[in-house]
Amino acid sequence: MRFQIKDLLHISILSIGIFLFVIDLFIINVSLPTIQHALDLSNSATQWIIILYIIGYASLLINAGNAGDYFGKKKLYLLGMAGFTFASLLCGLSTNIYFLLLGRLLQGISSGMMVPQGIALITLLFEDATKRSMALGIYGSIAGVASVIGQLLGGLLPDQSWIQESWRLIFLINIPIGILACIAAYRYVPNDQANPKSTISFIPMLSLFVLMIGMIYPLIMGPELHWPIWCILLLGTALILTLLFLKKQRRVYQTGQQALFNFSLFRSKVFNLGLIAALAYYMVQDAYFIINSNYLQNHKSYTATMTGVAFVYQGIGYVVASLMVNKLIQRYGKAVVLVGLGTMVIGLFFHLLVLNKETIATDQLHLLFFIYGLGCGSVLPSLMTLALKDVNKELIGVGSAIYLTIQQLSICLGIAFVVGLFLHEKGNTFFQLNNITAAYGYATTVSMLLLILVVCCIAYLPTIGKKKDNGITAQQNHDCEVLN
């Protein structure tokens, strides 16, 4: 079944949202050391540059579907794209950390508007199941390509010599793309019908945002400030308030009113284990890029360009594995995921050995990153499939939203814990490995332990077979895994 030119135009326009979101998620990882030096930022400030982007995005996810129904999916997509473009301009022109952080938060909030609506509009426009699956496959492929391009541009742009403070290009490059996307979407994407009867839970959504900030803030600032008493009290208060918030939401759900979460999902052991696996996995996922980018540039004399090129090999490995993983899982089940996790753990161990050398052989580093990418591509596209295996078809959308929120929160926790350990550990050497810092060694070891926890969770989950009893397959994980 072939697409018409109109179909390809719709897919291209609606994929720009995920393209920009993913690029800015990855581009910052490689360019972060350059930004830190240019603006003379503290370690905690660099963590906030990433975390505010993710929290802004995550805080809107659960209500994204209802908001699209209430305001209209196309209107919300256009508003998100326009907001992302303005926020990129704010980031690119920032002269201090406060404007940069505000811009990053606005970028995340805008992404929370446009990305879910892009997926929803594609689903709405392609009524035929085969065409819809193909369209979402293209959408996911574009997101995968964006991750590779983001890593490459994150290295190339900050090293440009024809403009002063060339790191600003990583944000300013979004502006012409965003403007063209707004014009194209306004003109060529059909209007959808808004439904004013839909309900949006603004107060719970705002409460979730505040609670996430309340938990993450002391985790980031605590190590840098040597854990003052107010940091400990704030963390404890945030945890207590979070438990009370969840308890209240559960009461609301039990009375039959509109709640932020569908608590019936948590009766499933499979769903709960899947969330724990996702929590541990995503604590490693983004932390890996930040730690290795920082370490190569600040300790191994790599330029931003050299680092970006090295990470392209990781991206290629990921894309290669993700293209094959669906067929392999249909044949071999969750064993494919377990092999992928094993590849990642062994890969991290060899990171310690290869980076321990005084002079790193470029071809060895590229091969190492490529193999690690193969492991990621064998795991990530299937995590949500495994978690939602026993969820009823009617609850797939709600379960996906909860999974997505846990996913984004996990990334924040990974940056706070794993990256925080890397940034604040002051030891000189790591056991007998004298040419790597203790910070890199401990952070990598913690990442390995987290991945082993994922192995334990996956081992107890049901395999993915050819039966599609809930309508989800590894290939159709578009509304979750393509975001990474």
The structural domains of the chain, with segments of one domain joined by +, span 1-200, 202-259, 265-484
Q: Comparing 1-200 with 265-484, is the CATH topology the same? A: yes
Query: What is the structure's pLDDT at 33?
Result: 92
Residue 199, C-beta contacts closer than 8 angstroms, at least 6 positions apart: 66, 70, 258
Tens-of-pLDDT digits for all 484 residues of the chain?
577 888 889 999 999 999 999 999 899 989 999 999 999 998 889 999 999 999 988 888 777 777 888 888 999 999 999 999 999 999 999 989 999 999 999 999 999 889 889 888 988 888 887 888 788 878 877 888 888 899 899 999 999 988 888 999 999 999 999 999 999 999 999 988 887 777 776 777 788 788 888 889 998 888 888 889 999 999 999 999 989 988 888 888 888 776 667 788 888 888 899 999 999 999 999 899 999 999 999 989 899 999 999 999 999 999 899 888 878 888 888 899 999 999 999 999 999 999 998 888 899 999 999 999 999 999 988 888 888 877 777 777 678 778 888 888 899 999 999 999 999 887 777 888 888 999 999 999 999 999 999 999 999 876 655 444 454 444 445 444 444 4
Specify whether the CB–CB gap between 370 and 378 falls below 8 A: no
Specify whether the CB–CB gap between 351 and 292 falls below 8 A: yes
Q: What is the pTM of this model?
A: 0.87
Query: What is the structure's pLDDT at 119?
Result: 84
Query: What is the structure's pLDDT at 475?
Result: 41
Dihedral sign for Cα 450, 451, 456, 458, please. positive
The superfamily in CATH containing domain 265-484 is: MFS general substrate transporter like domains (1.20.1250.20)
Query: What is the structure's pLDDT at 464?
Result: 55
Topology given in CATH for the domain delimited by 1-200: Growth Hormone; Chain: A; (1.20.1250)
